[in-house]
Amino acid sequence: MMNTAAQTAWETPVVCRVEVDLSGWLEQLTGNSDWEVYDESEDENYMSFAMRHGRQQAEVTLYHNGYATVDVDGESLFDGSLTTRTSHCAHLSYYHAENGELITLN
């Protein structure tokens, strides 16, 4: 039997915020540093960043559900969930949706 406090915790709406060092992540994936963002677009489901390093072109798409894709010169370098395990350049924070209070995970 689940106690009421634990059940309530699972039913509470939570917002996950992902912060990504895009240039650092592309350096991790490609070995090339100093990537620059030259364009970005946003949709209700994702944010997309066009980046370049010399003649190399990259597109990084960060979906609001935590999924991400990275294509460099038309080749897929990453396609999956973005977590601190998949990239040391990502930092995830969780907040209570109703009051914005930070949730600390153990």
pLDDT digits (tens, 9 = 90+) for 27-67: 999 999 999 999 999 999 899 999 999 999 999 999 888 88
Q: Which residues have a Cβ under 8 Å from the Cβ of 106 and sit 6 or more positions away? A: none
Buried/exposed 39-72: b ≥16 CB within 10 Å, e otherwise: eeeeeeeeeebebebeeeebebbbbeeeebbbeb
What percent of the chain is predicted at pLDDT more than 70?
A: 88
State pTM to two decimals: 0.75
